[in-house]
Homo-oligomer: A and B are copies of this chain.
Amino acid sequence: MDLVNDPALDAFRAEIRAFLRANLTDDIRRKVMEGGYLSREAHTRWHKVLQKQGWIAPAWPVEHGGCGWPLAKQYVFEQEFALAYAPRAVIFGVEMVGPLLIEYGSAAQKARYLPGILSGDEWWCQGFSEPGSGSDLASLACRAVRDGDHYMINGTKLWQTAATEADMMFGLFRTDSSGRKQQGITVLLVPMKSKGLSLRPITLLDGGQEVAQCFFDDVRVPVANRVGEENQGWGCAKFLLSIERLGIAEVARSSAMLNRLKGIVEQPDAHGRRLADDPEVANEIAEIEIDLMALEATEYCMLFDPAAGADLGAEASTLKLMGTQVQQRISAATMAAAGPYAQAMASGLDGDNASRIGPDFAEPATRGYFNLRKISIYGGSNEIQKNIVAKAVLGL
């Protein structure tokens, strides 16, 4: 299936492939393939390679240091990276803070923050969810009170990915409680080293600590760190959520994970038997493959239909719904391929092969299965996505 039927892009695709072949190191490639946690060191190393190539921010306009590529080129770029198990650029800076500041930021904010994102020297985390505000994001209560030329923040944020590594947070804070809950929300950029800001790393099911809770105790942030107007932050949030939906189908990543699974089941065992010859295993993989074809085609239609508008509508929520299903299904099939060895968990989270029990893929497969339960919960749970479609698309 070759949907991007544009000879002009073939050369570009070849260029990316050559670049990845030459530059992507095995340690990073393998970590991504196994769904493991990439260290900040490895992330930064990769970032510098991309930066040298000028490929940090495919979607940003050229005048802000991005590639300024049209959508089709971004699509191919993302596809090739995923298929090669290349890491994304550090996600929140390039994909969220950059577009946010380019759209809503002051000239000073752009000048101050965009270079650090492009260089990879400044890491960002998101500050949206709170203990009482998960699905119902607009009910957030973490309070920022204006005090002269500062805001004083008190409260807590929950589920901040990479918070322990981040230098800055872009967060939504409650600046007014008198009106509708969507009103009275403000975007602030908070240095993670701020006095009064403390973190509690949260261990997840797979044993990793990719998220944390952030506590704000009289944290002072200059008014200059406000993005947009006071109490107008909900618009920014919606803008960011709509960005977050782009690529949320994770088609190419899923293709790569499925390729890996096919490699695993095609390995003959000691008796020459292959799991791939089990009709149920073969059918399951075929079904996933077909679901993925449908996902890819639908994503393609939504992105490139000339009859549709420039922005992805709420229909894109269906991409997340189906995308998470596919990813979780691949992870379940990969774990199942490990058979009894799925249970063994000898190595630490960053352990190397030497300490693994059973086939190499088994342990990451099991961790991956449990880790990926998150994707139907985070970023707007699948239930919330259905509510969105029901309301915005179906008019219910």
Q: Does A280 contact B (CB under 8 A)?
A: yes
CB distance from A191 to the nearest CB of B (A): 45
Q: Mark A187-217, 1 if CB is under 8 A from B, else 0.
A: 0000000000000000000000000000000
CB distance from A277 to the nearest CB of B (A): 12
CB distance from A49 to the nearest CB of B (A): 48
Main secondary structure of the interface of A (DSSP, over half): helix
Q: Mark A46-62, 1 if CB is under 8 A from B, else 0.
A: 00000000000000000
Residues of B close to A306: CB separation below 8 A: none
Q: Does A347 contact B (CB under 8 A)?
A: no
Q: Does A353 contact B (CB under 8 A)?
A: no
Q: What's the Cα separation between A280 and B284 when bound, in Å?
A: 11
Q: What's the Cα separation between A379 and B110 when bound, in Å?
A: 65
CB distance from A134 to the nearest CB of B (A): 19
Q: Does A267 contact B (CB under 8 A)?
A: no
Q: Mark A274-300, 1 if CB is under 8 A from B, else 0.
A: 000001100100000000000000000
Q: Mark A170-188, 1 if CB is under 8 A from B, else 0.
A: 0000000000000000000
Residues of B close to A280: CB separation below 8 A: 279, 283
Q: What's the Cα separation between A283 and B280 when bound, in Å?
A: 9
Q: What's the Cα separation between A283 and B284 when bound, in Å?
A: 13
Residues of B close to A279: CB separation below 8 A: 279-280
CB distance from A69 to the nearest CB of B (A): 45
Closest residue on chain B to residue A283 by CB atoms: B280
Residues of B close to A283: CB separation below 8 A: 280
Q: What's the Cα separation between A280 and B280 when bound, in Å?
A: 8
Q: What's the Cα separation between A280 and B283 when bound, in Å?
A: 9
Q: What's the Cα separation between A280 and B278 when bound, in Å?
A: 12
CB distance from A283 to the nearest CB of B (A): 7
CB distance from A182 to the nearest CB of B (A): 28
CB distance from A124 to the nearest CB of B (A): 40
List which A315-333 residues lie within 8 A (CB) of chain B.
Answer: none
List which A245-294 residues lie within 8 A (CB) of chain B.
Answer: 279-280, 283
Closest residue on chain B to residue A279 by CB atoms: B279
Closest residue on chain B to residue A282 by CB atoms: B279
Q: What's the Cα separation between A302 and B280 when bound, in Å?
A: 34
List which A348-377 residues lie within 8 A (CB) of chain B.
Answer: none
CB distance from A314 to the nearest CB of B (A): 25
Q: What's the Cα separation between A279 and B283 when bound, in Å?
A: 10
Q: Mark A64-103, 1 if CB is under 8 A from B, else 0.
A: 0000000000000000000000000000000000000000
CB distance from A280 to the nearest CB of B (A): 7
Q: What's the Cα separation between A279 and B278 when bound, in Å?
A: 10
CB distance from A118 to the nearest CB of B (A): 51
CB distance from A276 to the nearest CB of B (A): 14
Q: What's the Cα separation between A283 and B281 when bound, in Å?
A: 13
CB distance from A278 to the nearest CB of B (A): 9
Q: What's the Cα separation between A279 and B279 when bound, in Å?
A: 7
CB distance from A281 to the nearest CB of B (A): 11
Q: What's the Cα separation between A283 and B283 when bound, in Å?
A: 12
Q: What's the Cα separation between A283 and B278 when bound, in Å?
A: 13
CB distance from A349 to the nearest CB of B (A): 37
Q: What's the Cα separation between A290 and B161 when bound, in Å?
A: 43
CB distance from A279 to the nearest CB of B (A): 4
Q: Mark A149-170, 1 if CB is under 8 A from B, else 0.
A: 0000000000000000000000
List which A20-41 residues lie within 8 A (CB) of chain B.
Answer: none
CB distance from A354 to the nearest CB of B (A): 40
CB distance from A193 to the nearest CB of B (A): 46
Ordered by A's residue number, 3 sampled pairs between the chains whose C-beta atoms are within 8 Å are: A279-B279, A279-B280, A280-B283
The 3 A-B pairs of least Cβ separation, nearest first, read A279-B279, A280-B283, A279-B280
